[in-house]
């Protein structure tokens, strides 16, 4: 641009000023205006989105959990400044590692992403050529060993790296499966009791053959000790969801463990290219993940447990006198470790299937989502429900609606 052109542009600026000026004014005012505009809008209504009471689970399809105010505030504040993506990952990673007794940690795009990133790190190490080569595994250790009962869907994440899964049942089979191509031994916590091998056996297998071990504890943030238990135990990598029991952003998660493995895993994720380039977590959610974890660790879990018990008490007591029903409150040992009600009934006294009750609750006003009687891997009639994702007071609505539907179907 010649100097004259610059001057010409400058002199033209006031003319364009009408436009530019308006833009600036709009932007300056926008902070307040946007807030007002959002406050006046009901996006759920506007878009025709059904909202509901979640008496079910922290399942992905139900949008898992609701973020507490601290967490949403972290998102809002995080959106207000630029930072370097690596910087926020470094700093938050350090804090998470400290809180969870790990050498290092990073925020991932959920637990699934943590599984992919973690394995990618194991396979590539700090070799950037290998990072760019995946999912072509030539020249890399590329077999992951897991137990048959642990292969229930989430293990597919591991194949994103190009790795091959080797499924075993017994200790002998696992020993025999280990060879020079073995990259990792993977464990799914929720299937602990279904598998033949326990933590100690899995860990000593890894130690003996110098193969890294990884455990998936996606929705196992209760009891809270789980957040450091597996690091203390010696798993080289631990993967957990941020948006399930911990109530962080649904699209965030944590990968923690050995320093060299976390550093290697990060090479495949943003801001780097590599197979996890599409697993971007924005700075807002990285910060919110940290706040959610901190909150979860600091909170009074006994008090929270008591509120769950009280809420469950309201429901159980409201329907208890209805003829023909039976109620059993159980606590899944691992995964969704929270009071859960199994409600069933005598079909001669109440003419309704579990599936029908589930549908009627969903279609009522307000809609309520519960689990079918057989959801937690059980083959049972009736329904199951939990109270940990209810907002205060919603237990009364759930209790009232249950009673209404059970009485309506009573003969």
* H-helix or E-strand spanning residue 117: helix 111-124
**245 vs 402 by CB, closer to ligand PLP:** 245
- To ligand PLP, the closest distance from the beta carbon of 354 in angstroms equals 23
Closest residue to ligand PLP, judged by C-beta, is 110
User: Residue 322 CB: number of other CB atoms within 10 A?
Assistant: 18
CA neighbor of 65 nearest in space, from 279, 393, 336:
336
Helix or strand or coil: residue 31?
Answer: helix
DSSP label at 380?
Answer: -
**61 vs 348 by CB, closer to ligand PLP:** 61
Find the helix packing angle between 199-209 and 226-233, rounded to 10°.
Answer: 40
- To ligand PLP, the closest distance from the beta carbon of 360 in angstroms equals 28
Is the bond preceding residue 162 a cis peptide, omega within 30 degrees? no
**57 vs 357 by CB, closer to ligand PLP:** 57
- To ligand PLP, the closest distance from the beta carbon of 260 in angstroms equals 24
**55 vs 218 by CB, closer to ligand PLP:** 218
CA distances to 273, 371, 377, 393 from 310, in Å? 49, 20, 26, 11
- To ligand PLP, the closest distance from the beta carbon of 58 in angstroms equals 8
**372 vs 382 by CB, closer to ligand PLP:** 372
**60 vs 72 by CB, closer to ligand PLP:** 60
Record the tokens describing residue 320, joined without a space: 């208890």
- To ligand PLP, the closest distance from the beta carbon of 208 in angstroms equals 26
- To ligand PLP, the closest distance from the beta carbon of 245 in angstroms equals 10
Q: Which residues bind ligand PLP (CB under 6 A)?
A: 60, 110-112, 154, 188, 190, 216, 218-219, 241, 253
Q: Residues near 320 by Cβ (< 8 Å), separated by ≥ 6?
A: 327
């Amino acid at each position: 641009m010649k100097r004259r052109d610059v001057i010409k542009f400058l002199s033209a600026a006031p003319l364009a000023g009408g436009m530019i000026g308006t833009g600036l004014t709009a932007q300056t005012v926008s902070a307040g205006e946007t807030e007002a505009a959002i406050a006046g809008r009901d996006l759920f209504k506007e878009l025709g989105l059904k909202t509901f009471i979640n008496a079910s689970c922290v399942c992905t399809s139900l949008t898992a959990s609701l973020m507490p105010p601290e967490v949403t505030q972290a998102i809002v504040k995080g959106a207000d400044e630029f930072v370097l993506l690596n910087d926020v990952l470094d700093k938050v990673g350090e804090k998470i590692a400290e809180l969870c007794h790990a050498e290092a940690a990073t925020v991932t795009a959920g637990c699934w992403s943590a599984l992919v990133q973690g394995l990618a790190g194991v396979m590539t190490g700090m070799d950037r050529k290998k990072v760019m080569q995946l999912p072509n595994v030539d020249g890399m250790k590329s077999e992951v060993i897991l137990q048959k009962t642990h292969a229930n869907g989430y293990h597919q994440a591991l194949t994103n790296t190009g790795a091959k899964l080797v499924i075993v049942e017994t200790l002998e089979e696992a020993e025999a499966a280990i060879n020079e191509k073995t990259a990792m031994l993977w464990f799914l916590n929720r299937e602990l009791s279904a598998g033949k091998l326990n933590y100690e056996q899995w860990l000593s297998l890894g130690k003996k053959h110098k193969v890294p071990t990884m455990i998936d504890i996606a929705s196992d943030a209760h009891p809270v000790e789980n957040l450091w238990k597996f690091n203390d135990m010696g798993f080289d990598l631990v993967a957990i969801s941020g948006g399930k029991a911990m109530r962080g952003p649904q699209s965030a998660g944590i990968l923690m463990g050995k320093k060299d493995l976390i550093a290697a895993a990060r090479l495949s994720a943003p801001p780097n290219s590599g197979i996890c380039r599409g697993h971007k977590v924005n700075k807002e959610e990285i910060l919110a993940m940290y706040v959610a974890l901190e909150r979860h660790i600091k909170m009074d879990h006994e008090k929270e447990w008591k509120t769950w018990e009280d809420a469950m008490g309201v429901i159980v007591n409201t329907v208890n006198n209805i003829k023909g029903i039976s109620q059993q409150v159980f606590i899944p040992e691992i995964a969704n470790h929270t009071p859960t009600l199994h409600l069933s009934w005598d079909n001669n006294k109440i003419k309704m299937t579990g599936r029908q009750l589930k549908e009627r609750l969903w279609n009522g006003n307000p809609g309520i989502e519960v689990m079918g009687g057989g959801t937690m891997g059980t083959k049972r009639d009736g329904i199951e429900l939990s109270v940990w994702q209810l907002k205060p007071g919603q237990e009364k609505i759930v209790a009232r609606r249950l009673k209404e539907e059970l009485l309506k179907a009573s003969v």
